[in-house]
């Protein structure tokens, strides 16, 4: 195990043999970092010139073998951040300036390019590739082997080479205690937004008129309205 001079580690965090933790890295309490993980290394960005960037990892996370997590860059606010209760599985890579929300699961060999944002409770299955500057909304599920090049709406399930929308992540939402009414409203909203022939602005107006009082629907609409890359859509017949 190698721990650098500028690393700060919270109480009850355990670090396995041959792990390397370096740079300006802060790790919270009760984390488990397994053997051969590489945490806090310089970013793989040719523009990086040794600026004093940081990595912050919260509490109760599990970081498995051969994971790599890099510090931030000047172009991304100098910070990479991992939330709380996140599971990062073997061989996953989290690049510079990524932000990972609480309770997310990043499965084996998932690769996150720089500046990606994962909101809370996101699940990426094995061998996913996430394009730089992509955002994945809360409670979304990305199927194994997916290549994600646009933003993934919250509560969605996507799959495929150039990931496409499959539908609402209903099973995940039910497991996390979302009400049947909320799940039903999201399904209606998805049908209007992605499966109707309405223009986007007209579809949004209809969804808000039908279910605008439901918090989850409002969050979905807000995400779509503020997406910089455009959101993943469905395959066309």
Q: Residue 232: is its pLDDT beyond 80?
A: yes
Give me the domain span that covers residue 211: 173-225
- Which residue out of 24, 45, 97, 102 is catalytically annotated? 97
Q: Residue 62: is its pLDDT beyond 60?
A: yes
In tens, the pLDDT along 94-123 reads 999 999 999 999 999 999 999 999 999 999
pLDDT of residue 42: 98
Q: Residue 236: is its pLDDT beyond 80?
A: no
Query: If you write DSSP's letter for every residue of the chain in order, what string do you get?
Result: -EE-TTEEE-TT-EE-TT-EE-SEEEE-SS-EE-TT-EEEEPPS-TT--S---EEEE-SS-EE-TT-EEE---GGGTTEEEE-SS-EE-TT-EE-TT-EE-TT-EE-TT-EE-TT-EE-TT-EE-TT-EE-TT-EE-TT-EE-TT-EE-SBBPTTEEEETTTTEEEEE-HHHHHHTT--HHHHHHHHHHHIIIIISS--HHHHHHHHHHHHTTSHHHHHHHHHHHT-SS-B--PPP-
Same domain assignment for residues 39 and 96:
yes
Active site residue 114: yes
Total count of domains within the chain: 2
Active site residue 201: no
pTM of the model: 0.96
Percent of the chain clearing pLDDT 90 (strictly above): 98
96 in any annotated domain: yes
Same domain assignment for residues 126 and 192:
no
Same domain assignment for residues 178 and 165:
no
- Which residue out of 40, 58, 76, 114 is catalytically annotated? 114
Same domain assignment for residues 60 and 85:
yes
CATH number at residue 183: 1.20.1180
- Which residue out of 70, 93, 96, 131 is catalytically annotated? 96
Range scoring the smallest mean pLDDT among 38-42, 122-126, 131-135, 196-200: 196-200
Active site residue 202: no
């Amino acid at each position: 195990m190698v721990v650098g001079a500028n690393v700060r580690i919270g109480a009850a965090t355990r670090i396995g043999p041959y792990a390397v933790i370096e740079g300006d890295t802060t790790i919270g309490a009760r984390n488990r970092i397994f053997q051969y993980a590489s945490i806090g290394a310089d970013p793989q960005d040719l523009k990086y010139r040794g600026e004093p960037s940081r990595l912050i990892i919260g509490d109760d996370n599990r970081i498995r073998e051969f994971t790599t997590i890099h510090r931030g860059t000047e172009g991304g606010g100098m910070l990479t951040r991992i939330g709380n209760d996140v599971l990062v599985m073997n061989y996953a890579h989290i690049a510079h300036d990524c932000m990972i929300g609480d309770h997310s699961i990043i499965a084996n060999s998932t690769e996150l390019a720089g500046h990606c944002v994962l909101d809370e409770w996101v699940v990426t299955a094995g061998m996913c590739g996430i394009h730089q500057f992509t955002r994945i909304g809360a409670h979304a599920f990305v199927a194994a082997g997916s290549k994600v090049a646009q933003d993934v709406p919250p509560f969605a399930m996507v799959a495929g080479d150039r990931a496409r929308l499959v539908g609402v992540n209903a099973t995940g939402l039910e497991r996390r205690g979302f009400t049947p009414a909320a799940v039903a409203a999201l399904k209606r909203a998805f049908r209007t937004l992605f499966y109707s022939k309405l223009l986007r602005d007209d579809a949004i107006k209809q969804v808000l008129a039908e279910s605008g009082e439901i918090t989850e629907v409002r969050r979905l609409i807000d995400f779509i309205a503020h997406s910089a890359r455009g959101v993943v859509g469905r395959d066309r017949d």
